[in-house]
Amino acid sequence: SRRIKNPDRQLRSGFLFFQKWNSEQKWNSEPKLKSPKYEPIAADMSPQTATSPTSLHLNSTACFFPALPENAVMGLQEVPQPVQPPAREHDVPASGGKMTLFHWQIQQEAKKAEGLSPEQVCMQDSDGDTFLHIAVAQGRRALSYVLATKMARYGSLDVKEHNGQTALQIAVATNQHLIISDLLSHGAQVNIRDLWGRSPLHVCAEKGHYLSLQVKTVLLYSSVTSRRTLGLTPLHAAVLSHNAVVKEVRHLENPCPFMISELAHRRRRYVECVRTLMHMGASYGTKDLKSGRTCLHMAAEEANIELLHLFLEQPMSLAAVNIKTFSGNTALHIVSSLQNYRNQAEAVKLLMRKGADPGMRNLENELPCQLVPEGSVGEKVKRLEGSPNLSLFSDTTQTLSQSKKLYSVLLFL
């Protein structure tokens, strides 16, 4: 999660320069303190275009930034918005003779930033943030576009702050898919890692930012098989996040309608992330590096019916339903060992109908039915696992075993 910058601390660490400059310009309508990183700036969040402008004049004779004093620490403050004269005809981008609000905003920001030297553009504050980091975190798309253009020209678009996050990773963390598209169009690295080993794809999956996942360049060039520190792929992260919501719902007592609606919305977001990642080629049969769990095992840990249905409806589900962890447990072992979960019996029934084998043993030589706890739910689960009509895999295994015996007899004769 991204921290909110403290304006007082920033002013003490050298940002008084910008305050002094503002006062000299007599723009008294601007606040004296720099706004938090997460403050929404409606003017720059214009949805007029989801694609980056193609023809912009970022150079102007206007210069709004004086030379920096020696040893000054730079950071991004709210750039004042003076009244500008109407755009000249040659400044209008080639968009069928019409200029959108976003194009106009870019031109205004370009005039203000034109006086910044390469050293000033790439300079970092005490947190390692550049102008671009803070502009992205504040949602100022036009300013971010202008700064990204400059930093890409200087080869510093992927500069990291103290948490190892680039401007792209901050845009991903705050779910600003339009800024993500702009940064990627300027050449930002899509598979870069932060200090926790997370790629932008991991962050999208953990937070349920499916709109950011669906940005075209992310879809084309992200590595869905990349792993973070614990050996988790982005799909693993999305499943675990969905599990966390399921667990939260299970422990709620007398929730209000708003809470129910909010949790349902979060579940839908994570399901959409799971679907998008699978569409990108992620496999739910991939094991993590710590315990050998697949996404099916993880969904089984919470008797997550929604995700179990999603995974077991895939064409290759029969090949994945009996995959074992490093300790030899299948998804059926895990569901059977749950302590009287509400959806436990339904999850067992679903797994067995899709080919889970109740006769498989783990490394401790235990059958799934031997892991079932006592209680009414446990008795129901035991009856299900002992039913010959539910296990499709048991019939297949028995037929194959008989065929092998017959083949052995024929070879002996």
pLDDT digits (tens, 9 = 90+) for 229-240: 678 899 999 999
Q: Counting beta carbons within 10 angstroms of the beta carbon of residue 200, is it exposed (0 to 12), middle (13 to 18) or buried (19 or more)? A: buried
306 pLDDT more than 70: yes
Encoded tokens for 379: 């008795």
pLDDT for the residue 97: 59
If we measure between CA atoms, which residue out of 232, 142, 229, 157 comes closest to residue 189?
157
Helix axes 305-312, 257-279, angle to 10 degrees: 20
Which one is predicted more confidently, 143 or 48? 143
If we measure between CA atoms, which residue out of 107, 157, 108, 103 comes closest to residue 132?
157
pLDDT tens digits for range 153-168: 988 899 999 999 999 9
Half-sphere exposure of 223 (CA within 13 A, CB side): 13
pLDDT tens digits for range 168-185: 999 999 999 999 999 999
Residue 97 backbone dihedrals phi, psi, to 5 degrees: 80, 0
Q: Give the confidence band of 227 by pLDDT, cuts at 50, 70, 90.
A: confident
Q: Answer yes or no: are the C-beta atoms of 159 and 165 closer than 8 Å.
A: no
Q: Answer yes or no: are the C-beta atoms of 325 and 295 closer than 8 Å.
A: no
Q: Is there a shared CATH topology between the 1-189 domain and the 286-295+313-401 domain?
A: yes
pLDDT for the residue 65: 36
How many whole angstroms separate alpha carbon 168 and alpha carbon 194?
A: 11
Question: Hey, what CATH topology would domain 286-295+313-401 get?
Answer: 1.25.40
Note the pTM of the prediction, 2 decimals.
0.68
What CATH architecture does domain 1-189 belong to?
Answer: Alpha Horseshoe (1.25)
Sorted by where each begins, the domain ranges of the chain are 1-189, 286-295+313-401
If we measure between CA atoms, which residue out of 207, 131, 216 comes closest to residue 177?
216
Encoded tokens for 390: 């539910």
pLDDT for the residue 281: 87
How many whole angstroms separate alpha carbon 221 and alpha carbon 191?
A: 8
Phi-psi region of 357 (alpha: psi -120 to 50; beta: other; left: phi over 0): beta
pLDDT for the residue 273: 93
Encoded tokens for 406: 């017959």
How many whole angstroms separate alpha carbon 358 and alpha carbon 392?
A: 10
pLDDT for the residue 302: 93
Q: Answer yes or no: are the C-beta atoms of 288 and 236 closer than 8 Å.
A: yes
Q: Answer yes or no: are the C-beta atoms of 338 and 308 closer than 8 Å.
A: no
Give the residue-averaged pLDDT of 395-409: 48
Collapse the DSSP code of 2 into the 3-class scheme (helix H, G, I; strand E, B; otherwise coil) and give the result. coil
The rounded Cα 148 to chain-centroid distance in angstroms is 22
Please give the span between the terminal C-alpha atoms of the chain, in angstroms, as a whole number: 70
14 pLDDT more than 60: no
Give the residue-averaged pLDDT of 4-14: 39
Query: According to DSSP H, which parts of 208-343 are helical?
Result: 210-213, 216-221, 234-251, 257-279, 295-301, 305-312, 317-320, 331-336
